Copies of this chain bind each other. A is one copy, B any other.
Amino acid sequence: MKNQEIVFSKNQLQRYPIYLKLFRQLYEKGQISVSSPQIAKELGYSQEQIRKDLQAISGTPGRPKRGRSLERLIDDLEVFLGYRTETKAVLIGTGHLGGALLNYPNFESMGLHIVAAFDNDPAKIGERLGGKSILPMEELKGTMEKEGALVAILSVPGHVAQEVAESAIEAGAKGLWNFAPVHIAVPEGITVENVNLASSLAVLNHRMLSALSKEEQ
């Protein structure tokens, strides 16, 4: 991986897929290069931020006035984000959210390949969801080892999330993508990334109500 010495903040990492989406749109429309002012206008980030972000993954542009080549930016972003390298994952918990994730059409294009789905409900074992057979938890370790899966996607209820996380780590997971609304404690060397809808809703609610009360004043 490039630029290993740069420490990327979470906010910065989160911006890269948004740049990539924009650059692909512009490229599809026939544009061949893009300038910081145009990106700033489209995404609302400062030009300074944009230059810093892009320099970190794509080096300095040759001639500032002409902007950056979209083809090269798309290339560099796809490599940086790991979209060109397959990462194998298992999904644990096949309720509504698990089903939605198994059916999510974009993961493959981001390099994430879900190889199998697991549940602890005997009634679900053997059913098919998003093109995968649902397997029992007893097969988790064998499947992860055989497939070389590094990521476990946790779409289980909060009260079992810690226990399921521990099984996944025991089975070889190095990264947990946690959709359960709880904190998960993990040993050093294991990465957890949370998608917490309650936290996101808290931000929306608070900011919306603050904006509304300002309007009323």
Contact = CB atoms under 8 A, between A and B. Distances in A.
Interface of A: 1, 4, 8, 10, 13-18, 21-22, 42-44, 81-82, 87, 96-97, 99-100, 103-104, 106-107, 110-112, 150-151, 158, 174-175, 177, 181-183, 185, 189-191, 193, 195-213, 215
Contacts of A208: 150-151, 174-175, 191
Nearest to A180: B21
A207 B206 CA distance: 29
Given A44-B183, A97-B100, A14 B177 contact: no
B206 A13 contact: yes
A14 B209 contact: no
B200 A193 contact: yes
